[in-house]
Structure 1
Amino acid sequence: MLLFNPLSSPPTPLSLSQKTHYTTSISSLKKHPSFFTITNFPNQKNNPTRRKLFIAQAKGDDSADGPDRLISAICYFYPFFDGVQYGKYVITQFTPIQVLIQPLFPAIKVFKSFPLNGFLVFLTLYFVVVRNPKFSRYVRFNTMQAIVLDVLLIFPDLLERTFNPRDGLGLDLVMSLDSTVFLFLLVCLIYGSSSCLFGQLPRLPIVAEAADRQVL
């Protein structure tokens, strides 16, 4: 995006009379009005070019228009879809949660239909959105938050693979861990997507600082 600086054009030089006048009479000064000519710089308040500069710069901060809000809100579905299996205990036990995510079942089914879908979505979001300066910082920050949130799912996945009890206290711990992870993803989805739709900047715990370091 090109930024136009209204002060980039060279100012008009001072117009001075070539002859030197030593008289201080008013009549003599009136004959040479160019002696008092001062360069008029553009009014910064009413200069439309300067207003364009501020509008262009606003695209790079945390403000967002309609399309930016929608793209950012959709990105938070990625970690939720990727970790929805952690809700197998909560969904079956609590009917309100099942009703809440019922409309998402077709999209979740499509996302889970191919094992590499999660990895392909990760590459797309990171290289096409986060590393693309054509997107505003608002979109890139929210996308990076969703990516970092999905990367954190590696830890409960490793723990579940190495420690997979069938019953007893171990099973209760696994159920508690899975339910906590799922509820955290659900809260992040609701908070992140709703904040983006309203034009707010959501900062998720744990992942916000990591996203800031990745988005310049």
Structure 2
Amino acid sequence: MAMSNFLCPTAPLRLSHRPFIHSSPFSLNHQSLLTLTHLSTNPVKPRRLLTTQSKGDDSVDVPDRLIAAVCYFYPFFDGIQYGKYVITQFTAIQALINPLVPAIRVFKSFPFNGFLVFLTLYFGVVRNQNFSRYVRFNTMQVIVLDVLLIFPDLLERSFNPRDGLGLDVLMSLDSTVFLFLLVCLIYASSSCLLGQVPRLPIVAEAADRQVP
């Protein structure tokens, strides 16, 4: 309401039979009282601006992130031989692989290391309820991904050309497998370190069925 309506001397004074109600801006009507009562009994909880969530909408602990991220090196080390053509052609990939060479040599030093790691991950982690589902799901994805390496290995053993078109096809197949493993390693490990759930194609559905 404009101030002139209150200060104008010529404005006629009208009386009404309604009781006087104080109209100060600090007065509270019935609706305002209800609102304040609701706010006092239901305090607003502060929102978390940054949240790290797993598949079950629970925050992922740092140890779980590290364990899940490290597990994805297993199929990459197990299939490193498929990169023999790509690594020799691209210096950028050589620079990326060089820091991992000591660990790869240790992994490849004993023929049964891969099988022992497989048993350890499956029975020691996936079937161990002491680990969270986040860790067990990612470990199961690692195991399924490693099992899939059986198919290119069988194909390479049965089809081993020395030259010509057959060799070109084999080089393309090996390079594709290696690049797929490299992308899975980078994507999955990075997602785990951020507390996210990496879902690899084909592999994720199989892991879901195995991990309740």
Q: TM-score, normalised by structure 2?
A: 0.73
Partner of 2:92, secondary structure, is: helix
Q: Deviations over 1:73-124 (max 9, x none)?
A: 0000000000000000000001100101110000000000000000000000
Distance 1:196 1:125 in 2: 17
Distance 1:120 1:62 in 2: 33
Partner of 1:164, secondary structure, is: coil
Structure 2 counterpart of 1:211: 207
Does the 8 Å contact 1:61/1:136 carry over to 2? no
> Is 1:61 paired with 2:64?
no
**Aligned residue among 80, 105, 118 for 1:122:** 118
Q: Which amino acid aligns with 2:149?
A: L
Q: Cα offset for 1:171?
A: 0.1
Structure 2 counterpart of 1:41: none
Structure 1 counterpart of 2:71: 75
Q: Which amino acid aligns with 1:109?
A: R
Q: Cα offset for 1:61?
A: 3.1
Which contiguous aligned blocks of 4+ residues in structure 1 show a shift greater than 6 angstroms?
none
Within-5 A mapping of 1:121-140 = 121-140=117-136
User: Matched residues, percent identical?
Assistant: 82
Structure 2 counterpart of 1:142: 138
Does the 8 Å contact 2:122/2:143 carry over to 1? yes
Q: Which amino acid aligns with 2:120?
A: T
Q: Which amino acid aligns with 1:204?
A: L
> Is 1:95 paired with 2:108?
no
Name structure 2 gaps, 5 residues minimum: 1-41, 44-52
Count the aligned residue pairs. 161
Q: Which amino acid aligns with 1:96?
A: A
> Is 1:185 paired with 2:181?
yes
Distance 1:61 1:121 in 2: 27
Q: Cα RMSD between the aligned structures?
A: 1.7
Alpha-carbon spacing, 1:62–1:156, altered in 2? closer, same or farther (3 Å): farther
Q: Cα offset for 1:166?
A: 0.1
Distance 2:203 2:160 in 1: 27
Q: Cα offset for 1:206?
A: 1.4
Structure 1 counterpart of 2:27: none
Higher RCO structure (Cα 8 Å, ≥6 apart): 2
Partner of 1:205, secondary structure, is: coil
**Aligned residue among 154, 159, 164 for 1:163:** 159
Name structure 1 gaps, 5 residues minimum: 1-44, 47-57
Q: TM-score, normalised by structure 1?
A: 0.72
Q: Which amino acid aligns with 2:161?
A: P
Q: Which amino acid aligns with 2:193?
A: L
